[in-house]
A and B are shown apart, each in its own frame.
Chain A
Amino acid sequence: MHVNSPNFKSNVTHALADTRLQKALSDTRLAFPSRRAAAVANLPEFEQLRDIGRDIKNHTLANLDFYLETYAANVERAGGTVHWCSTADEARAAVLAICQRANARTVTKGKSMISEELGINAHLEQHGITPVETDLGEYILQIRNEPPSHIIAPAFHLNRDDWEESFRKVHTDLPEDRVFNERRDILTEARTRLREKFLAADVGITGANFLIAETGSSVIVTNEGNGDLTQTLPRVHIALASIEKVVPTLEDATSLLRLLARSATGQDFSVYTTFSTGARRPGDWDGPGEYHVVLIDNGRSGMVGTEFQDMLRCIRCAACMNHCPVYFTVGGHSYGWVYPGPMGSVLTPSLVGVDQAGHLPNASTFCGKCESVCPVKIPLPKLMRHWREREFERHLSPQGTRTGMGIWAWFARRPAAYRFATRLGAWVLGKLGRKKGKFTSLPFADGWTAGRDLPAPEGETFFARYARAQREGTL
């Protein structure tokens, strides 16, 4: 997917001026957090589970080579095929080759963020194969030719009437009096149209929430059941998964599943949780004739052993963005690549380079809400700060900021000089602002004063007044 993160600031300007987007964001802002809070309140051991989740992932990452090899061996033993891909190019080629060998014309797809990362749809289309997104949100976005704006609710940026408009654009036979007032109306329409696609598809592509080393299984969770139809009906199933999705055992996967839905949507469990192990065996009622896992690195292994390794614990629940005041101000598309919100602000620089995505880890107040809800306790603000350190070291931060910071640092290191400078500054600003108590504009402070007044200082610094009080004996 094209990286639009360098344009973060202009993306934000557009997003703030987009009244439809702002409506969609403000209408939904409280839904996920309140559902998560209710689910967490109903599970007394939730906090303990977060530690367990963190530990499972840490253990796996510390032994990633072992678990990946074990997983791959068990996939093969169950009759599946593993395609190891170190880059997005390799992964696209692997998917295309499988589809071409199957003489595929139509490919159904379950929701998969790694598929967005790889740009699978465009690649298949270029080679004459039609991909059909079957997740309701993704289906709409495919019609609209838009990327997802959220990792579990891809059409989060849309309003109800956008859905009807999109349907009518492609479902040209829709009667004019057909109503789309309820969620059910939208679902029914998509279900009817997609049923034919499911039956016609030659290949089904899904993502994977977890890969289980001990059994060689891939796991997907969905609420619409589209993933199951995608992976069981066609002749060939391809599971796309990045390497950090592996967990050692079924037991580990179930521990993480207890965290996942509660953190994501506030459900105890997603409606469908499906384990796929190999292809259809003799005697099976259904299932694909071929089962392929395209196992993708695409930059992850470079994070192992660095200060960003903790990010590989992420189970893609979206709790961080669901609780992020910045995300709900700017929307997911502003971040400019596949992964928005706090997790994206750490992951995107890791995968596309901090020179491209440098704004993202800076566009955070470090309010810490994301870390407090992360089911695997990723210290997101700390990792964003590490990116700022890398930028500072590589002189990527803006020159104005660096110069200002340098001058400030010179004084801050020298208390006597600092005392003198602050005393003077506070006195001048105090005099100027004394009457009104505030400034409505100040040179070099437009960043502040464009939307806020700047309260004036009292005029005498604490240290000046304290020294005076000591002299005068009035303390």
Chain B
Amino acid sequence: MTQPARKSRVALFVTCLVDLHRPTVGFAAIKLLERAGCTVEVPRAQTCCGQPAYNSGDRATARDLARGILDAFGGYDYVVVPSGSCGGMLSGHMAHLFDDDPNTRARADALAQRTHELVSFLTDIMGVTTTDAAYAGTATYHDSCSGLRELGIKAQPRALLASVAGLTVTEMAEPEVCCGFGGTFCVKYPDISVRMVTDKTRDIAATGADTLLAGDLGCLLNMAGRLQREGSKVKVRHIAEVLAGMTDTVPPIGEGKA
């Protein structure tokens, strides 16, 4: 890939879950993007991609939030999101909120074109093929649904994980089956959700891996919560933490500080 004349200006869309729950993922994303040669900025006027409202049928709120995003994220070369789900919202769904408003629709389309999920942005746009990170252990990788089916993210995380020193990746039986998170689904239908995540943790356990990785914090919180309820010792992390070599700075998801 040819080196761009100037550094790409990237706006980081932090996502509400990373902001609230796991800020390390945001810092890992910044580190990875800078290492890939980007200048990273974090627009302050961001909250949430609007998916909770959008998927609850509240289009008005989703549109309001989308307008805020369009204002805050205009003028960058790229918008990068450390989540396939929120990334899919911005790049796949948001524009359709303005099907009846051609001007805003055009702005949303333009934003959609510039928006990428973090790991696929690193590999597909920035041409990153390796990392200098190290992680001692065996990990299994769960393909989160939106990233997989809306954005085609499958090979990219595995390609980068292959370059992490000391790390072996072992596939679970059905990495593409939903973990049962589903946003508000997990609290609206907890019985179904827990049964689904229990199927998932059974598959995770069967790999013998000591670490579970994925690219979406919602799924990770769900799977970590179930693993810990089951007394599992599997460590759960966002893939960006491993790729950025930041696993020493924060305990795995759901584990206390020693």
> Are B42 and A455 within 8 A (Cβ)?
no
B180 touches A412 (CB 8 A): no
Tell yes or no: B23 within 8 A of A by CB.
Answer: yes
- Whether B253 and A455, one on each chain, are in contact in the complex, defined by CB atoms closer than 8 angstroms, is yes
Within 8 A of B (CB), among A442-475: 445-448, 450-458, 460-463, 465-466, 475
Whether the pair A326, B196 counts as a contact (CB closer than 8 A) is yes
Interface stretch of the complex, out of B2-10, B52-60, B115-123: B52-60
Say yes or no for A6: interface residue by CB 8 A criterion. Answer: no
Residues of B within 8 A of A387 (CB): 57
Task: Given A325-B177, A363-B185, A448-B187, verify A453-B56 contact (CB < 8 Å).
Answer: no
> Inside 8 A of A13's CB, which chain B residues have their CB?
191
Query: What is the minimal beta-carbon distance from B160 to any residue of chain A, in angstroms?
Result: 22
- Asked if B47 is at the interface of the complex by the 8 Å CB criterion, the answer is yes
Overall SS of chain B's interface: helix
Give complex CA distance A420, B198 in Å. 36
Interface pair A389/B181, CB less than 8 Å apart: no
> Which of A192-200, A205-213, A367-375 contacts its partner?
A367-375
Shortest CB–CB separation between residue B179 and chain A, in angstroms? 8
Q: Does A362 contact B (CB under 8 A)?
A: yes
Bound CA span A392–B54, Å: 11
Interface string of B11-51 (1 = CB under 8 A from A): 00010101111111011001000000000001011111010
Q: Are the C-beta atoms of A451 and B44 separated by less than 8 Å? A: no
Nearest CB of B to A436, in Å? 5
A66 within 8 Å of B by Cβ? no
Given the interface contacts A393-B57, A455-B225, A461-B20, does A363 sit within 8 Å of B192 by beta carbon?
Answer: yes
Q: Which residue of B lies closest to A440 (CB)?
A: B229
Total number of residue pairs linking A and B with CB closer than 8 Å = 209
Task: State which of A367, A412, A434, A447 has its C-beta within 8 Å of the C-beta of B149.
Answer: A367
- Say whether B191 contacts A365, CB under 8 Å: no
Which residues on B sit within 8 Å (CB–CB) of A434?
256-257
- A229 lies within 8 A of chain B by Cβ: no
Pick from A362, A415, A455: contact of B68, CB below 8 A: A415
B226 contacts partner chain A, Cβ-Cβ < 8 Å: yes
* Size of interface on A: residues with Cβ below 8 Å to B: 66
In the assembled complex, the CB of A304 is this many whole angstroms from the nearest CB of chain B, namely 20
In the bound complex, CA of A322 to CA of B71 (Å): 43
A330 at the interface (CB under 8 A from B): yes
B47 touches A418 (CB 8 A): yes
Name, among B18, B22, B27, B178, the residue most crowded by chain A CB atoms within 10 Å (CB to CB): B178
Report if A415-B45 is in contact (Cβ < 8 Å); known contacts: A13-B191, A363-B185, A455-B225.
yes
- A425, B195: Cβ atoms closer than 8 Å: no
- Binary contact track A374-401/B, C-beta < 8 Å → 1, others 0: 0000000000010111111100010001
* Contact with B56, one of A329, A405, A418 (Cβ below 8 angstroms): A405
Contacts of A413 in B (CB 8 A): 47, 61, 64-65, 68
A-chain residues with CB within 8 Å of residue B254 when the two chains form the complex: 437-438, 453, 455-456
- A392 and B23 within 8 A (CB): no
Name the distance in Å between A43's Cβ and chain B's nearest Cβ: 21
Give the secondary structure class of A's interface: helix
B194: Cβ under 8 A from any A Cβ: yes
CA separation between A389 and B19, bound complex, in Å?
28
B: contact size bracket: 35 or more
CA A47 to CA B57, docked complex, whole Å = 31
Interchain CB contact under 8 A, A453 and B225? yes
B34, chain A: closest CB distance, angstroms: 10
- The reply to whether the CB of B228 lies closer than 8 angstroms to some CB of chain A is yes
Cβ B222 vs Cβ A365 within 8 A: no
Contacts A367-B149, A462-B23, A466-B26: A326 and B192 contacting too (C-beta < 8 A)? yes
With A and B bound together, what is the CA distance between A436 and B251 in angstroms? 11
Bound Cα distance from A156 to B168, whole angstroms: 40
With both beta carbons as reference points, the residue of chain B lying nearest to A393 in the complex is identified as B57
Chain A residues with Cβ below 8 Å from B186 are: 447-448
Residue of B whose beta carbon sits closest to that of A325: B178
Q: Which of A326, A330, A475 has the most CB atoms of chain B within a 10 A radius of its CB?
A: A326
B150 at the A interface (CB under 8 A): yes
> Residue on B with the closest CB to A435?
B256
* Contact, CB under 8 Å: A463 / B44: yes
A98 within 8 A of B: no
Among B30, B47, B253, find the residue whose CB has the most chain A CB atoms closer than 10 A: B47
Q: Does B75 contact A (CB under 8 A)?
A: no
User: How many angstroms between the C-alpha atoms of A367 and B150 in the bound complex?
Assistant: 10
Answer whether residue A364 sits at the interface, using C-beta atoms and an 8 A cutoff: yes
B residues engaging A (CB < 8 A)?
Answer: 14, 16, 18-24, 26-27, 30, 42, 44-48, 50, 52-59, 61, 64-65, 68, 145-146, 149-150, 176-178, 180-199, 221-222, 224-226, 228-229, 236, 250-251, 253-257
Can you list 11 A-B contacts with CB-CB less than 8 angstroms, sorted by A residue number? A365-B183, A367-B178, A369-B178, A438-B228, A447-B187, A450-B190, A451-B194, A453-B229, A455-B228, A461-B20, A465-B23
Q: Report the 4 A-B pairs with minimum CB-CB distance, sorted nearest first.
A: A365-B182, A451-B194, A455-B254, A447-B187
The residues of A with any CB-CB pair to B shorter than 8 Å are 9, 12-13, 16, 325-326, 329-330, 362-369, 371-372, 385, 387-393, 397, 401, 405, 408-409, 411-413, 415, 418, 422, 425-426, 433-438, 440, 445-448, 450-458, 460-463, 465-466, 475
A415-B46, A461-B19 known, 14 other contacts, Cβ within 8 Å: A366-B185, A385-B55, A387-B57, A392-B58, A401-B188, A411-B47, A413-B61, A415-B44, A422-B16, A438-B228, A452-B197, A455-B21, A462-B23, A463-B19
